[in-house]
Amino acid sequence: MAVKKIVVWGASGHAKVLRPIIEGKGLRIVALIDQNKDMESFIPGCPIFPALEELPPEETKNAFFAIAVGGDKGRERLHIHERLCARGLSPVTLVHGAAWVAASARLEDGAQVLGMAAVSEEARIGMHSIVNTNASVDHECLIGQGCHIMPGATLAGCVEVGDFATIGSNATILPRIRIGRGAVIGAGAVVTRDVAENVKVVGVPAAPVR
């Protein structure tokens, strides 16, 4: 059977993290895309292109794609998704072999669950959201699209996270809290109250950054 091909958008550290997960699914990375012209390919024999338009169509026809853009760039990930789908490529969801995703949890297109992360019963991870290394998303949490749950963050049960929000490393969100769209939770924060849209909070208990 022919090996399935995949294009990876982004060639920095996050792409290195995704590579073994992608290859573990039996996919072969045939091209990297990175707008940073100084970036070099870290995969021997795999070309790197500075723009989508330069991707050779014959090599990438019907290929899958993964987006290796981390940080708080959730909106960018969704935009890249639209462009790659328009070229006929298809998104993959990526789950590290050492992560746990409950059978009743739902991962939408392009979602990523990295090593040692846990996604519990009836949780939902939206399109192109990242549950990073060792993060924990407990039962019935609803994570929107383009979110980033950073390494070691803990979301207790029934937490809701709006689209494009980011939860910093080792932050803790208490049960049933609602995090608004585009909100930013600082590293190590303990969130005890709902956070409004586009508000940035830090500290224990978390309060808006002045």
Residues that bind ligand COA (CB under 6 A): 70, 132, 150-151, 168-169, 184, 186-188, 200, 202-203, 209
- Looking at the Cβ atoms of 55 and 125, the one nearer to ligand COA is 125
Minimum distance from CB of 198 to ligand COA (Å)?
Answer: 12
Residues 6+ apart with CB under 8 A from 160: 141, 142, 177, 178, 179
- Looking at the Cβ atoms of 158 and 187, the one nearer to ligand COA is 187
Minimum distance from CB of 181 to ligand COA (Å)?
Answer: 16
- Looking at the Cβ atoms of 70 and 146, the one nearer to ligand COA is 70
- Looking at the Cβ atoms of 85 and 209, the one nearer to ligand COA is 209
- Looking at the Cβ atoms of 8 and 184, the one nearer to ligand COA is 184
Minimum distance from CB of 118 to ligand COA (Å)?
Answer: 17
DSSP assignment of 11-62, as one string? -SHHHHHHHHHHHHTTEEEEEEE-S-TT---SSTT--EESSGGGS-HHHHTT
The torsion region of residue 82 among left (phi > 0), alpha (psi -120 to 50) and beta comes to alpha
Separation of alpha carbons 136 and 179, rounded Å: 16
Minimum distance from CB of 5 to ligand COA (Å)?
Answer: 28
Lookup: tokens for 25: 């699914």
- Looking at the Cβ atoms of 142 and 190, the one nearer to ligand COA is 190
Cβ atoms < 10 Å from Cβ of 189: 25
Minimum distance from CB of 200 to ligand COA (Å)?
Answer: 6
CA atoms within 13 A on the CB side of 106: 11
Minimum distance from CB of 74 to ligand COA (Å)?
Answer: 13
The closest residue (CB) to ligand COA is 186
Give the closest residue to 130 by CA, choosing from 191, 65, 76, 71. Answer: 71
